[in-house]
Chains A and B, each alone.
Chain A
Amino acid sequence: MKLLLQNAHIEGIRFYDAYRKNGGYQSVEKAFKMSTDAIVEEVKKSGLRGRGGAGFPTGMKWSFLAKPEGVPRHLVCNADESEPGTFKDRYLMEFLPHLLIEGLIVSSYALGSNATYIYIRGEYAWITDILEQAIAEAKQNGWLGKNILGSGFDCEIYVHRGAGAYICGEETALIESLEGKRGNPRLKPPFPAIQGVWMRPTVVNNVETLAAIVPIINMGGEEYAKIGVGRSTGTKLLSVCGNVNKPGVYEIDMTISVEEFIYSDKYCGGIPNGKRLKACIPGGSSVPIVPANLLFKTAKGETRMMNYESLSDGGFATGTMMGSGGFIVLDEDQCVVRHTMTLARFYNHESCGQCSPCREGTGWMYKILKNIENGQGKLSDIDLLWDIQRRIEGNTICPLGDAAAWPVAAAIRHFRDEFEWHVLNPEESQRRNYGIAHYADPLPMVGAV
């Protein structure tokens, strides 16, 4: 089932004419006949959860927005997609820019934002151009500007390009950056819904979340909620990378199993070269890595499905998280230690340096992992790593500390033998990888010759 990408293949859909011809901007027409409260109500009914990673209910977030008299409010679209493994928003903006603009207009109307900003990561320079062109087209056709559709509502959308900082995906850091400052996260409270950008009430939503507003308005919140399962309603974009036959962006309705997602030709198409699956990080680099033997079945023995609840079943002991939908697959020849080291290096590089546990701890973890990877580690280093991550987690200003701690914790939790092997076999570990060991793919090798 596709709600966002169903038209992605249509020629010229990037441009206004083709987009409009295929039903584009209908949700704006519909929404402007509704009251703003009714729109928020539809979003609440839809059960839509933030698609940026945290999965917080969008309707609830919107209803928290303070509305003091005479103070402007702002909607900010978080397009600072930087979580390793995640590139779904890029796909959406690159190929369906008008879908995002449409969602932004409806959301701006619902929240009363007359100036809405898209904060896009600096490296997506060419997408900035695509979005600016789409905004210009929308404006030419009367969907933006003054008194849109005679409703009396004015709205402008501006693209604000960042300059390379993962931390700006955190909403308060994003707000700081939008104000022209360093991307240092703010202490909460106050929450952005009360004091956000320029101390005004602000809602920050992910690209995919805002695009999903379009089908929600078109079909109604209740219909949208019927798609999916339980509290995982609607569809979710997943960006697949690593060792799969068909990396790319897929839209799923959260009712398929993880196994089907990896091995079906409709999606990832299995692992290349007939190799076996070793591990998977299903929600972007900060969520826990899970070995193959815990990936397809939950600890209770149930089939693990591609949705928020099922992926997190078993907590961090045996489960993981849906996260941002950056689906990273590791085949049997990959080294978990090296992979974890690159992630630790990433978080060390991206730490803003504001609070002590993250500033000092991320670099420390990276250095230890580098030693282990290079055959210079000690067995006590593994316990030390565990202790450092434990003392970073939960003790930092923003979630980057947790994001840096979890991958290290999960790698040690599930692949401790591989770390030990690296330490005990320093020379051999430089020549070959550990392999697959006991966390072997429990399934027959689908698609293998």
Chain B
Amino acid sequence: MSAASLRAAAGPTLAVLAGLAAWALVAHRAGPLLLAGPVEVLQALVSERARLLEATARTAVSAVGGLALATTLGLLLAVGAWWSRALRAALLPYTVVLQVIPIVAIAPLLVVWLGYGTAVALATATLAAFYPVYSAATTGLAAPPRELVDLFHLYGATRLRELVLLRLPAALPALFSGLRSAAGLAVIGAIVGEFVGSNGFPPTLGYLVVYAARSARPDLCFAAIVGAAVLALCLHVVVRWAERRAIGRWYGV
């Protein structure tokens, strides 16, 4: 490591160390029932690793499943909205409502309909991730410049071929930027669903957070939050990787 890069890394490292020290100090003053210090969280991560890993895996299934469902639905409906003006007009109120309804507010109702288990988290993750995907896909399908659209019309392209050969590939950059937001929202959506829709059999991150907070286990609560953050980060990295694989070369990357 060069002297310059050492100097560049020194600032952030010092800030993190200072933060950890402050955290440990405040946790020590507050006591283990209110706030867990960094060491306690680390201990919880190790001692509860089996439960945490299983919970993270369950939540990951809901988040990834929700993201996949939202992507499929969002893309299909966006294509439909491009294809038919009437369908676009009909979808508008529903997409707006979906965007403005707080998922936390409908999660209890989903439990009534779907019962305890993965289905609620899957549903809330889908609902949370849907709008960014739909909105990005709609923008992306309208993305090709007029020249390219003119060119396809000059060739006498049918709407289907215009869609497949021009609009869908051209929509990929916008779609990926929508997917990046949607990936984070899917994790949040899954956890919100688990707050109310998971009873701990099997354990989930959302359940662990609620359970730990109620049983005065802030160390476990923080450990579950670490799990959620790692999960969201992994999803983000995977989407980024797919984006670079799919469209990086278009820009000479």
Are the chains A and B members of one assembly? no
- A-side residues, CB < 8 A to B, are none
- B-side residues, CB < 8 A to A, are none
